[in-house]
């Protein structure tokens, strides 16, 4: 059986000033994981990323378009976004 799901053309978002590829319908957390980037660094220096995937744990928190502590698992990518990991 052939899938009818079509993936839109990729676009870029900016993460800490670097271009990261994303696509329509992808969360910012997914784009960061796909690029091998942490969302934040813990007080002890450990890289942190999405844990719960539903906006409860705040492990994926980052600054999105100037708004701090956004739960990136709950924010969908769009072309031109600026993300700053913490």
Q: What pLDDT does residue 14 have?
A: 98
Domains in the chain: boundaries: 11-81
Label residue 17 by pLDDT band (50, 70, 90). Answer: very high
What are the beta bridge partners of residue 64?
67, 83
The answer to whether residue 1 scores a pLDDT higher than 80 is no
Average pLDDT, the chain: 90
Stretch 39-67: mean pLDDT, rounded? Answer: 92
Q: 86 and 61 in contact (C-beta within 8 Å)?
A: yes
Q: What pLDDT does residue 4 have?
A: 53
Q: What pLDDT does residue 63 have?
A: 96
Q: Helices in 1-86 by DSSP H: which ranges?
A: 28-34
The answer to whether residue 7 scores a pLDDT higher than 80 is no
Q: 8 and 23 in contact (C-beta within 8 Å)?
A: yes
| Fold assignment, 11-81 | Ubiquitin-like (UB roll) (3.10.20)
């Amino acid at each position: 059986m052939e899938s009818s799901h079509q993936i839109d053309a990729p676009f870029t978002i900016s993460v800490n000033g670097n271009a990261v590829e994303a696509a329509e319908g992808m969360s910012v957390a997914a784009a960061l994981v796909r690029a091998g980037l942490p969302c934040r660094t813990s007080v002890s220096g450990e890289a942190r990323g999405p844990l719960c995937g539903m906006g409860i744990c705040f492990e994926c928190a980052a600054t999105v378009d100037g708004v701090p502590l956004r739960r990136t698992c709950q924010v969908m990518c769009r072309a031109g976004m600026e993300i700053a990991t913490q």
